[in-house]
Amino acid sequence: INIALAVFNLIPIPPLDGSQIFSGFMLNRNPDLVMKLQAYGPQILFGIILIGYFTGFSVIWMIMGPLVKMFMFLFSGITL
């Protein structure tokens, strides 16, 4: 569970911590994109979660799944 939460938190959509990493790389290159993402990020994240809830197709897990599997294998040797 902890690995899945860590990977989820690294998704680069505000208010998650991954957005801070993304902002650090993009702030000098495209500050308008960073500001828009900070303004609309929570709505985007909520929309992605709702799409998964109503359709049964989890966009979040599509992003997180391969990373969680990789970290599970690297840290514990468990294959999912």
Segment 46-70 mean pLDDT:
91
Quote the pLDDT of residue 28: 85
Q: Tell me which residue range forms the domain holding 8.
A: 2-76
- Let me know the angle formed at the C-alpha of 27 by 21 and 30, rounded to the nearest 5 degrees: 125
In angstroms, rounded to a whole number, what is the distance separating the alpha carbons of residues 23 and 4?
A: 22
Segment 20-49 mean pLDDT:
90
Which sign, positive or negative, has the C-alpha torsion 77, 49, 15, 39? positive
Q: What is the mean pLDDT of the chain?
A: 90
Structural domain tally of the chain? 1
Q: Could you check whether the bond before residue 15 is cis, i.e. omega within 30 degrees of 0?
A: yes
Residue 22 has pLDDT above 80, yes or no: yes
